[in-house]
Amino acid sequence: MIDFTVVLFGSFLIVYYSRQSILKPCSHGFFRFFAWEITLIQFVFNRIGWFSNAFFWYQAISWFLLTISIFLVIEGTCFLRKYGKSVTSFEATRQLVTKGIYQYIRHPMYASLLFLAWGIFFKSPSWLDFVLTMTSSIFLYATAHADEKKCIAKFGDEYEIYMRTSKRFIPYLF
């Protein structure tokens, strides 16, 4: 019963935050909504194994990925607030941010969600969790791709040059 309540309450918060994006099927918020929902479900289903088998190899991988996730969301948020020159929400930046973590990766907060999803997967790996994590990863990729289209329209050539000098999620990879 507690699992259902947590999923219901969490989903309510996610739907509320994403209410405008859900109505725009090609927006980054639309895809992000599904990634958040899947990650919430993963978290609730894996909560029992969160601290069990603390010294197994997959728990070490999990804690490593979760630590990276926390680092990325903090760094991304701080630099976006500091240099993005937003008037309304920190997502609505007026200035392209290319300092700090953004000089290496374009989407540190989406990367944070990616590392979070995989960190949760490694808490208690199963085939169902693998499918959920892969699905969440696909939605996060679609989120970043939609966001990049929006950024190209907003910042033009400056963003296209930035895309050539940075990675999408993981620095020095691909």
Structural domain boundaries in the chain: 2-165
Does 174 score more than 80 pLDDT?
no
Q: What is the pLDDT of residue 88?
A: 60
The answer on pLDDT for 148 being more than 70 is: yes
- Listed in sequence order, the residues at least 6 apart from 144 whose beta carbon sits closer than 8 Å to its beta carbon are 28, 106, 107, 110, 168, 169
- Quickly state the pLDDT bin for 63 (edges 50, 70, 90): very high
pLDDT at 90: 56
What count of Cα atoms within 13 Å lies in the side-chain half-sphere of residue 49? 20
Encoded tokens for 148? 């990049």
Residue 150 has pLDDT above 80, yes or no: yes
pLDDT averaged over every residue in the chain: 89
pLDDT score at 89? 62
- C-beta separation of 97 from 79 below 8 A: yes
CA–CA separation, 34 and 172 (whole Å) = 28
